């Protein structure tokens, strides 16, 4: 799928553009990527966690601890990014190169038209100016696996949906601590429903989000002013063509009820084989699919 944001003239902006285009891509058939943690635990990649693999779970999980702090944070439960593009400081340098009048901030007219949706998302205080700090914050949100700041709160959906992560994160705080890594073998055995000493694919199948959970996720992800609804400026680019039809009361916003109806309509319109996949971003945790 072509998206004009994915073809910026400056290569250093490619990672940022790709992150913003992910929503549009999500409207089509979803690519079924391996579940990263399962792939790490399943040493022989046969889709089942054997008794030996369960016993070796703690050692396998420690290989994911990229910063060596003894625990696994949400970013470490995803593959290392190879498309992250520019660092926050590189993005500041590159975007501020469009500051034609040299006043230290960007205005929409200073940016190429193809990049103006980036401006809307980055201008958090809605003052019509983009500061270097707002650019840094945008880069941090776009660079994280879920498209926004990583942390225990933003990891909660991923942890709940994936039975493996849910079992490992015994205190459900969004981080797999040193103690939880040490107890991994015991925790994983809670998924062994038939008590045969192994965990079969059906015993660790990712739970699908309910329509209400999808709407809650969309509001958490895109409702920048936290007023409980989405304006046209707040919705992802891939949803704007549906905005008018979804705005049933014509007030210029999508509230929870309208988003729920839109989500249900999009779900029904998907091909039969894809209806279990969510039509909204991150309905399944990225990198954590069956």
Domain segments of the chain as ranges = 4-27+82-143, 36-81+148-204, 211-272
Orientation of helix 256-269 relative to helix 211-222, angle to 10°: 120
**Is 16 within 8 Å of 87 (Cβ atoms)?**
no
**pTM recorded for the entire structure:** 0.51
CATH of 211-272, picked from 1.10.10.10, 1.10.238.10, 3.30.450.40, 1.10.1760.20, is 1.10.238.10
pLDDT at residue 240, as a whole number: 81
pLDDT at residue 31, as a whole number: 39
SS3 166: helix
**211-272 has the same fold as 4-27+82-143:** yes
pLDDT(38) > 60: yes
pLDDT at residue 85, as a whole number: 55
Orientation of helix 152-161 relative to helix 211-222, angle to 10°: 160
H-helix segments, the chain: 14-26, 36-41, 51-55, 57-62, 88-96, 116-122, 132-143, 152-161, 163-168, 178-182, 184-188, 211-222, 240-246, 256-269
Instruction: Give the class (CATH, top level) of 4-27+82-143.
Output: mainly alpha
Helix (H) or strand (E) holding 230: strand 230-231
| 218-229 average pLDDT score | 83
pLDDT at residue 140, as a whole number: 65
* Spatial separation of the C-alpha atoms in residues 98 and 108, rounded to whole Å: 10
pLDDT(209) > 60: yes
Average pLDDT, the chain: 76
């Amino acid at each position: 799928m072509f998206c004009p944001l994915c073809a910026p003239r400056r290569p250093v902006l490619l990672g940022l553009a790709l992150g913003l285009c992910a929503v549009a891509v999500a409207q089509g058939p979803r690519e079924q990527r391996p579940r990263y943690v399962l792939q790490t635990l399943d040493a022989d990649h046969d889709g089942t966690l054997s008794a030996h693999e369960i016993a070796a779970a703690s050692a396998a999980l420690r290989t994911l601890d990229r910063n060596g702090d003894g625990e696994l944070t949400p970013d470490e439960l995803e593959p290392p990014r190879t498309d992250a593009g520019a660092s926050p400081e590189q993005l500041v340098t590159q975007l501020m190169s469009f500051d034609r009048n040299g006043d230290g901030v960007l205005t929409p007219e200073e940016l190429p038209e193809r990049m103006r949706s980036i401006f809307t998302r980055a201008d958090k205080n809605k003052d019509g100016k983009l500061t270097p700090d707002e650019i840094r914050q945008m880069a941090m949100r776009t660079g994280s696996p879920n498209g926004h700041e990583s942390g225990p709160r933003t990891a909660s959906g991923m942890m709940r949906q994936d039975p493996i992560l849910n079992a490992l994160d015994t205190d459900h705080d969004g981080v797999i601590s040193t103690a939880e890594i040490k107890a991994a073998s015991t925790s994983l055995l809670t998924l062994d429903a038939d008590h045969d000493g192994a965990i079969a694919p059906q015993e660790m199948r990712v739970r699908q989000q309910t329509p209400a959970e999808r709407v809650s996720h969309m509001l958490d992800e895109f409702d920048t002013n936290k007023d409980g609804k989405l304006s046209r400026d707040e919705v992802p680019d891939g949803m704007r063509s549906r905005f008018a039809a979804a705005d049933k009361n014509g007030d210029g916003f999508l509230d929870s009820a309208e988003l729920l109806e839109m989500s249900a309509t999009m779900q029904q319109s998907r091909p039969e084989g894809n209806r279990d996949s969510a039509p909204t971003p991150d309905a399944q945790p990225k990198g954590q699919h069956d």
